[in-house]
Amino acid sequence: MVPLSNYILQGPLITRFFLFTFLLLTSLHGQALDYIRLAEEKNLSESRYWHILLHMPSDTSEIDDKAFFLSPDGNVNAKAELEATVKALYDDKGEKGSDNNSTACRFPARKWWLVRELNLQGLPELECKEFDVLMKKVDPQAASLVFPSAYINSPASMFGHTFIRIDSSYNSKMLSFAVNYAANADSSTENGMVFAIKGLVGGYYGNYSLLPYYEKIKEYRDTEERDIWEYDLDLTPAQIEQMLRHIWEIHDTYSWYYFFTENCSYNMLWLIEAAKPSVHLREPFNYQVIPPETIHVAIEEGVITKRHFRPARRSKLLAYEHYLSDEDIDDVFALSGAEYRLKDFLSSKDKDIQTKRYILEASSEFIEYDFLAGDINASVYKSRLYNILLARSGLGQGEHIDIPKPVDPMQGHRALRLRAEAGIRDDKGIAFFGVRPANHDITDSDVGFLRGTQIEFFNLLLSYEKDKINIEKAGLINIVSLAPRTKFFKPISWRLNTGWDRNYLSESTKFTANASGGLTWAGKWGYVYVLGDALLYTDRDVTTGIGGIAGAVLYAGNEFKTNLEVTQRIFDTGSDQRLFSFSQHYRSSKNISFSLSYDYVQKYEEDWDTMKFTFDYFF
């Protein structure tokens, strides 16, 4: 028997080649098998971190893309996937002169971790050019969780969005990169309703994107007019490097996007855990993930350090309102509008130079606002902006305006509300119990929320009186946007309400839908509003009606708040109805409030007067 080594050294070339390759592969495989055995001994595939890398909360991965798994059943078998990964790392090779498609280059986070856990030796040497370019350019040094808060006239936006920002060695945060997860759909071609439904049930793919942070700043600060809050994460550069490796692994994969659960914010939690597995961020979320809630959890887990505020353009313009008189504001309108008289303005002796600076600065912001709103076209915008800025540049630096920082949204109450009430209705005792999964109404404490903005889903309130349980209210969606009119902004306020309640003339619980529109005015003291209302109730038949609503919300510090509202309705049946409510609220802590309230509802027979004491707990 000729020893194998002789064949390799002396046999025909082709045989030698194949034998050599065979031996090389078997020895590599042998090596892989040794490590797989070691992994089994260490029970590595059961470890929390391996499950984080596979996005596998228990037995099934949330990543729906088969290409993410090296084993055919890798999405449901963490052990098979780990073994397949170790094998693939030893079998690894690139193609067509590039290693970018090798396992090591496609799964750098898995490789990094396995090398550390198993002390893998003798892996093929590969050059991951694409990933190296990314790592070098992103240059991870620090990271933050970024939360663009609600924008005016869109209560749904208070559900918000979060994404991760990775900071580089540059001082300027504008040069950081944003890692974002979103449903991949074209909002311009799809109907809004279809869109919302598909978003809820998982009709879109979710995708990751990476882009310069300044693009996100433009999107939220300028286009969407949302204040941006940045919450610095307590992560080391090495941890963020591993996060970036993991982002690379998943950036090309797809998963179904579910608005309530596997959404943008939830997927950021996987990334933070991939960086720092000692924090447990996903566990508290069972049935829904409201974006700001993820930051609440991150704070509780101690992974948030500093907080920063980046005002929206709207907030900046509102700040200018404090520095400018009504007459100055007229100048802003004139300069940014058609009545163009820049030369007269500059030579005018009526205003001091600082006021002129403020007026020109506000004009440059206002004209951009007009342009983004589609009120003027690009060439008009460019020429007016150019001239306004030219005038401003001649006036020196001057004073900086002070933009008031709102209360951190993380000081606000949590999303889920439990309510217990006790009181008297028409001289008889009555008790209420309520649960509301989300999110905020205009009687709740506004600390950390945009005043006058409400969005409620599935608000349920039961009452108990005389051994009888009634559904007092079963809301489907209740949205309110009371957007104040200011010197610069003249929005319309509106309200949408669908569900069942007992506010109709008869005593039983009725289905209702109503839509209102009107105006709101605000000050430091609070705000007042008037709305016109179109409504329907399904009594025996469908009853339609119109109504008028006037209300006021007054504040005393962060703790006290008073709500007043009166409604007059006229129905197509010829009946009319009046409703009145008054409530006084006290915020005892972030998640606990007490209220006293009085409600009057006109009825066919005996009108209802309800006085009650309310205890609310948010979590």
**What whole-number distance in Å separates Cα of residue 294 and Cα of residue 165?**
15
Binding mask 434-473 vs other proteins (x if CB under 8 A, - otherwise)? ----------------------------------------
> Smallest Cα–Cα separation from 210: which of 261, 295, 140?
140
**What whole-number distance in Å separates Cα of residue 93 and Cα of residue 29?**
14
Count of beta carbons in the 10 Å neighbourhood of residue 524: 5
How many residues are given for the chain? 619
Residue 359 touches other proteins, criterion: CB under 8 A = no
The pair of structure tokens assigned to 176 is 């950081």
If the CB atoms of residues 212 and 429 are measured against other proteins, the closer one turns out to be 212
Residue 133 touches other proteins, criterion: CB under 8 A = yes
Stretch that binds other proteins, among 110-118, 120-128, 210-218, 553-561 (CB under 8 A): 210-218
Work out the end-to-end distance of the chain between its first and last CA atoms, rounded to an integer number of angstroms. Answer: 77
Among 51, 110, 111, 161, binds other proteins (CB under 8 A): 161
If the CB atoms of residues 111 and 313 are measured against other proteins, the closer one turns out to be 313
If the CB atoms of residues 395 and 474 are measured against other proteins, the closer one turns out to be 395
If the CB atoms of residues 394 and 557 are measured against other proteins, the closer one turns out to be 394
If the CB atoms of residues 407 and 492 are measured against other proteins, the closer one turns out to be 492
SS3 56: coil
Among 58, 119, 121, 187, binds other proteins (CB under 8 A): 187
For the bound state, the minimum distance from the C-beta of residue 170 to other proteins, rounded and expressed in Å, comes to: 6
For the bound state, the minimum distance from the C-beta of residue 75 to other proteins, rounded and expressed in Å, comes to: 22
SS3 33: helix
The values of phi and psi at residue 203, to 5°, are -95, 0
Residue 136 touches other proteins, criterion: CB under 8 A = yes
Residue 211 touches other proteins, criterion: CB under 8 A = yes
If the CB atoms of residues 25 and 174 are measured against other proteins, the closer one turns out to be 174
The pair of structure tokens assigned to 129 is 């050019």
Residue 208 touches other proteins, criterion: CB under 8 A = yes
Region label for 256, one of left (φ > 0), alpha (ψ between -120 and 50) or beta (otherwise): beta
If the CB atoms of residues 33 and 156 are measured against other proteins, the closer one turns out to be 156
Cβ-in-10-Å burial (0-12, 13-18, 19+) of 19 comes to: middle
Among 41, 95, 186, 350, binds other proteins (CB under 8 A): 186
For the bound state, the minimum distance from the C-beta of residue 201 to other proteins, rounded and expressed in Å, comes to: 11
Distances (CA, A) of 524 to 256, 275, 521: 44, 43, 11
Task: Output 601-607 pairs: Cβ under 8 A, ≥24 positions apart.
Answer: 601/502, 601/503, 601/577, 602/505, 602/577, 602/578, 603/505, 603/506, 603/507, 604/505, 604/506, 604/507, 604/575, 605/507, 606/426
The pair of structure tokens assigned to 575 is 């009946």
If the CB atoms of residues 180 and 602 are measured against other proteins, the closer one turns out to be 180
Residue 15 touches other proteins, criterion: CB under 8 A = no
- Within 365-384, the residues that bind other proteins by CB under 8 A are 365, 368, 371-374, 378, 381-383
Among 195, 256, 309, 521, binds other proteins (CB under 8 A): 195
- Within 214-273, the residues that bind other proteins by CB under 8 A are 214-215, 218-219, 222-224, 251-252, 257, 259, 263-264
Residue 97 touches other proteins, criterion: CB under 8 A = no
- Contact (CB, 8 A) for 205 and 184: yes
The pair of structure tokens assigned to 55 is 């996005």
Strands (E), 119-190: 142-148, 163-167, 177-183
Cβ-in-10-Å burial (0-12, 13-18, 19+) of 194 comes to: exposed
For the packed helices 353-372 and 313-323, what is the interaxial angle rounded to 10 degrees? Answer: 150
The pair of structure tokens assigned to 246 is 């993991």
If the CB atoms of residues 103 and 454 are measured against other proteins, the closer one turns out to be 454
Residue 198 touches other proteins, criterion: CB under 8 A = yes
For the bound state, the minimum distance from the C-beta of residue 17 to other proteins, rounded and expressed in Å, comes to: 34
For the bound state, the minimum distance from the C-beta of residue 159 to other proteins, rounded and expressed in Å, comes to: 7
Angle (CA) 256-261-262 rounded to 5° is: 35
- Within 397-416, the residues that bind other proteins by CB under 8 A are 397-398, 400
- Within 19-58, the residues that bind other proteins by CB under 8 A are none
Q: How far does CA 536 lie from the centroid of its chain? A: 33
Strand pairing partners for 617?
Answer: 418, 592
Residue 342 touches other proteins, criterion: CB under 8 A = no
DSSP line for 214-231: HHHHIIIIIIS---EEEE
For the bound state, the minimum distance from the C-beta of residue 317 to other proteins, rounded and expressed in Å, comes to: 13
- Within 495-524, the residues that bind other proteins by CB under 8 A are 496
Residue 618 touches other proteins, criterion: CB under 8 A = no
Residue 143 touches other proteins, criterion: CB under 8 A = no
For the bound state, the minimum distance from the C-beta of residue 100 to other proteins, rounded and expressed in Å, comes to: 8
If the CB atoms of residues 42 and 218 are measured against other proteins, the closer one turns out to be 218
Cβ-in-10-Å burial (0-12, 13-18, 19+) of 26 comes to: exposed
If the CB atoms of residues 114 and 244 are measured against other proteins, the closer one turns out to be 244
Among 396, 466, 557, 574, binds other proteins (CB under 8 A): 396
Element housing 323 (H / E): helix 313-323
Binding mask 555-594 vs other proteins (x if CB under 8 A, - otherwise)? ----------------------------------------
If the CB atoms of residues 222 and 539 are measured against other proteins, the closer one turns out to be 222
For the bound state, the minimum distance from the C-beta of residue 215 to other proteins, rounded and expressed in Å, comes to: 6
Residue with tokens 């006037």: 550
Binding-residue total with other proteins (CB under 8 A): 85
Cβ-in-10-Å burial (0-12, 13-18, 19+) of 541 comes to: exposed
Among 37, 66, 129, 322, binds other proteins (CB under 8 A): 129
For the bound state, the minimum distance from the C-beta of residue 223 to other proteins, rounded and expressed in Å, comes to: 5
If the CB atoms of residues 383 and 508 are measured against other proteins, the closer one turns out to be 383
Among 183, 235, 295, 461, binds other proteins (CB under 8 A): 183
If the CB atoms of residues 200 and 534 are measured against other proteins, the closer one turns out to be 200
If the CB atoms of residues 124 and 398 are measured against other proteins, the closer one turns out to be 398
